[in-house]
Chains A and B, each alone.
Chain A
Amino acid sequence: MAFAGPVLLKRIPADPAQRKLHRWADYVATGGYEGFQKARSIPPEDVIKLVIESGLRGRGGAGFPCGTKWTFLPKDVHPRYLAVNFDESEPGTFKDRYLIDHDPHVLLEGIAIAAYANRITTSYIYIRGEYHRQAKVLEEAIAEAYAHGVFGGKHPGTDIIHNCYVHRGAGAYICGEETGLLESLEGKRGWPRIKPPFPAVAGAFAKPTIINNVETLACLPHIMLNGAAWFKSMGTPSSAGPKLFGVSGHVHKPGVFENELGVKMSALIEKHAGGVKGGKYKAAIPGGVSMGILGTDQYDAELDFDIGKKYNVLGLGTAGVIVMNDQTDLVLALRNIVRFFAHESCGQCTPCREGTAWMHKILNRIAAGFGKPRDFDLLMEVALSMGAMPGTTICGLADGANWAVRTFLQKFPEEFKARLKSPQVQGVNLAPVAATV
């Protein structure tokens, strides 16, 4: 393991005063589009091979090996599309935005490389509706890239012209789920699709489609330039490469930091984020609220793709770490998380649509001081019945809600149980309630 210095953030200094938006000239002056040149100098198949060899795994949440995903495209079926997932709506996640705010061309170069390797006809950057500024930044950068021939030309040796567009979402979390994204891209309601068919076979407009996260694609120029071995020299055997971590919550210096995969959470918090604020460390969300929670004794958890098995969470997710100090009321924290899922459930699957709203109501009642002892088991059971086994619902949102509720209860049972005693025992002020009945 060796992380020598920033890779993805090499154009974004830690000091806010020195950060700036890199336009075409700035980008090219700092080695931009050299990775693309390099890619074009070798056959597309070799680009795919290199990406597989590098061990690059998806940065959007699921951690699926990037090059392998590309190989699922059926041979010689055209047109094919690349959908860039810039929906970034997972709470606690703001890494893609940070990157695009300052260095949009690194994404465009990544897109150009992926498009070259896979003979893509059209790339769509699906951007979260609330990201107004970033959409504008990207539009401008795309115009520059067109002007310099990155887009709009034929893939060498073919008649396939590659175009790139920005498509703005309308602000739904579920449109970050890859098939919800495709539906939304097609102008439909963002309801995740049932699989099969998988997007690689029939994705956007029923054509073969690759979906990749912004950060995943942003790794490609660096891999092209520096090689697979270099990429693998960072991280762990199963989790190669550098990674952006967004740290928020009770820390002195929240922000986006880069380190290698496998870095200890404690190191991230203390070295980069200035340490825990307002008290001692109590718990943390490893990567977006869908992943569940790390307990007080899991402060040193290594942040890599194996975190799920080792620490009883769903996974690394987006690596948007939310830190909570010992003053945090976890009942309220969980209520807030579940409120999010209830609000964002797309409403297709019965367990997710009804279960998230039910859990939110139960947690509301507990928060108000009217919890009952049996609520603990009830919450656990509702959570389990909506997503314990993947496959109970169409997409992963329900699993996320399940993991959040389950791990909060499992890792902090006492804190919840204390709130399930009668209101009088808890010392709840019943006067306002009495006034309403």
Chain B
Amino acid sequence: MPTMEVDGKKVSWEGRKMILQACLDNGVELPHYCYHQGLSIVASCRICLVEVENPDPKDPGKLVKIPKLMPACQTPAVDGMKVHSLSPKAAANQKAVLEFLLLNHPLDCPVCDQAGECYLQDYSFRYGRAQSRFEEDKAKKPKKDIGKHVLLYSDRCIMCTRCVRFTREISGTGELGVFGRGHKEEIDVFPGQSLDNPLSGNVIDICPVGALLDKDFLFTQRVWFLKKTPSISPFSSGGENIFIEHNQGRVYRIKPRFHKDINQWWISDDIRYGWNFIHNNRQKRISVRGSADCASWEYSLGRLEQMFRKAAAEKGAGSTVLLLSPFDSTEEMFLAAKWIRGIDSQARLILNPPKIEGRDQVFRNPATGAVTYIIRAEKAPNRRGAEKIIAHFGEPPAGRTDSLDELADRAKNGNISAALVLVDPIAHNDSRLGEVFADLENLVTLSTRPDGLVGRAALALPVCTWAEKSGVFENCEGRIQAFERAVAPLEETRSAGEVFWDLLSQAGTYNAAAVRRLMVQAGLAEYADVSIPQREKEVELMQFVEL
């Protein structure tokens, strides 16, 4: 593997890489603004300039210094090369670039959302000078509302053009451009347009400073209070990797988490802004039909068990139904199926089919044709997990299909004794399910929201959303990915997994990893090596040097 030395550290890489990328891959930090691995290279911010010594082609033992400073983002790494980013010349350039960038910057960090995750702040601290020598009037540039989700504070912009390149190379929509010239130039949307493509929120993430801000997140939290929990998108079958960012039990925003084969650095706006159901419209307490009082979990679980045993005994095997939701984790569905089959060995396992919106929406780089992002048509995270559990517990007997239609027929004919429904957290099929179970006495729901089927249920149990539990989802390509619990369950809610764990009288408290071990014992070997995503390292506290 070719190797070079960067400020005394060894850096190796494979294939053709630029110095900066090779360093970043090795955890060696070099300052950079305009460079983003997912975008084309423009080498315009000039903060990454380094001194380079190349091996002499005639005498490989000797190094020849390139007289100019070289942009690390645009200079290919060469085996045996030496790179200096801390040399006086490189440091002088970093200092100069930072001073230039701050000349007209309003220095309004106290009221800026980006503070705490701003590369101007970070690099100023590390490479900048303490005082500005600029005593002229600062240029004033306006604040602009450029799209459904995005605000542009032009005066904080450092003209790295990442946002412009995103709309040209990733979303392919090209709404943004650079207008004006020289120090008068500004980022803006083209006349008559606005930034509202389905990927628009990503420009906020890649803006290295506080110029592009999220209307949804604006002034809601200081970012240093936020904790990031790795998770998986709960709205789509793509399995997009995300972080849930939260503080004191409240979620504030969703950010993309890099996955090289799925979503890379991006997520769609649906995923970014669709999480309101965590805190809104929740069923918080158990409700029992015909009773205004709150029931306890102990009572309710007993009641549930009793109801199903009685129903199965009266109407015979195969008369009970478990309706699975493609929004629940595979572990939960496994436990639910195991429980109901323990009561009714032929209990019917049916999947409430996920919503399909048109076709997969494929984004491409207009110049290269390469696929940059796919918005999946299927709007649920775990259909494949549900299907696997259903298959594991037995195919439907010949001649019968386990579909909602068939279920409706059987319900109409009075062939269903009891149904347990895991309700989708996002309203879908509500009215259809309402029809199917219209006359069913023994209806039990596990739901995050108080509407839909819940009103008809004999027993309605409040469960938590994906943000309040952990487990795995299987995406449309068959990748099994784990997500972690970000916030504590709301009020009296429990995860569906916990409900069935207790019903099955398993020892200890519910946890997803323990269920996966049971699944492996039961022959579902692929759940043996699910890797748990790393939590973000706690930010190391900056070492303040005493002056």
Contacts and interface: CB of A to CB of B under 8 A. Distances in A.
Interface of A: 172, 189, 194, 342-351, 353-358, 361-362, 364-365, 378, 385-386, 389-394
B181 A392 contact: no
A353 B159 contact: yes
B41 A347 contact: no
Contacts of A394: 43-44
Contact of B46 (A347, A350, A356, A390): A350
B425 to A, nearest CB: 46
Nearest to B185: A347
Contact of B45 (A189, A344, A350, A362): A350
A189 B178 contact: yes
Interface string B35-66: 00000011111110100000000000000000
Interface residues of B, number: 37
A290 to B, nearest CB: 16
Q: Tell which of B45, B69, B159, B182 has the most Cβ of chain A within 10 Å.
A: B182
Interface string B61-86: 00000011111001000000000000
B41 A361 contact: no
A389 B68 contact: yes
A346 B159 CA distance: 12
Interface in B206-234: none
A124 B107 CA distance: 47
Contact of A356 (B89, B139, B182): B182
B97 A378 contact: no
B544 to A, nearest CB: 27
Nearest to A398: B46
Contacts, number: 94
A392 B69 contact: yes
Given A194-B42, A350-B158, A344 B182 contact: yes
Given A345-B183, A385-B93, A391-B68, A354 B101 contact: yes
18 contacts: A194-B43, A343-B182, A346-B181, A347-B185, A349-B45, A350-B47, A350-B100, A350-B158, A351-B97, A353-B100, A353-B183, A361-B136, A389-B89, A391-B69, A391-B70, A392-B68, A392-B93, A394-B44
Given A194-B71, A354-B183, A357-B103, 5 more contacts: A344-B182, A347-B184, A347-B185, A348-B159, A364-B136
Contacts of B183: 342, 345, 347, 353-354, 356-357
Contacts of B42: 194, 348
Contact of A348 (B44, B70, B92, B137): B44
Nearest to B100: A354
A344 B136 CA distance: 20
A347 B101 contact: no
B103 A358 contact: yes
Given A350-B97, A358-B136, A392 B182 contact: no
B134 interface: yes
A159 B182 CA distance: 44
Interface of B: 41-47, 49, 67-71, 74, 89, 92-93, 96-97, 100-101, 103-104, 133-134, 136-137, 139, 158-159, 178, 180-185
Contacts of A344: 181-182
Contact of A347 (B68, B96, B97, B182): B182
Contacts of B44: 348-350, 394
A347 B69 contact: no
B178 A347 contact: yes
B97 A194 contact: no
Contact of A351 (B96, B134, B137): B96
Contacts of A354: 100-101, 103-104, 183
A389 B97 contact: no
Contact of B182 (A189, A345, A389): A345
B50 to A, nearest CB: 11
Contacts of B71: 194
Nearest to B68: A391
Given A194-B74, A343-B182, A344-B182, A365 B101 contact: no
> Interface centre among B46, B74, B93, B137, by most A CB within 10 Å?
B46
A351 B46 contact: yes
Chain A to chain B: the 3 pairs with minimum beta-carbon distance, closest first: A391-B68, A385-B96, A354-B100
B45 to A, nearest CB: 5
Nearest to A391: B68
Scoring B45, B93, B100, B103 by chain A CB atoms within 10 A of each residue's CB, the highest score goes to B100
A392 B41 contact: no
A9 to B, nearest CB: 35
A351 B182 CA distance: 11
Given A358-B103, A385-B92, A391-B68, A353 B185 contact: yes
Contacts of A343: 181-182
Contact of B49 (A172, A348, A386, A392): A392
A172 B185 CA distance: 14
A343 B185 CA distance: 11
Nearest to B67: A389
A354 B100 CA distance: 6
A351 B183 CA distance: 10
Contact of B41 (A194, A342, A351, A386): A194
Given A348-B42, A385-B92, A342 B182 contact: yes
B387 to A, nearest CB: 48
Nearest to A377: B133
A314 to B, nearest CB: 15
Contacts of B133: 378
Contacts of A362: 136
Nearest to A344: B182
Which one of B45, B89, B133 has the greatest number of beta carbons of chain A within 10 Å? B133
Contacts of B182: 342-347, 353, 356-357
Contacts of B74: 194
Contacts of A349: 44-46
Counting chain A CB atoms within 10 Å of each CB, which of B67, B68, B103 scores highest?
B103
Contacts of B101: 350, 354
Contact of B181 (A194, A345, A365): A345
Contacts of B180: 347
Contacts of A350: 44-47, 97, 100-101, 158-159
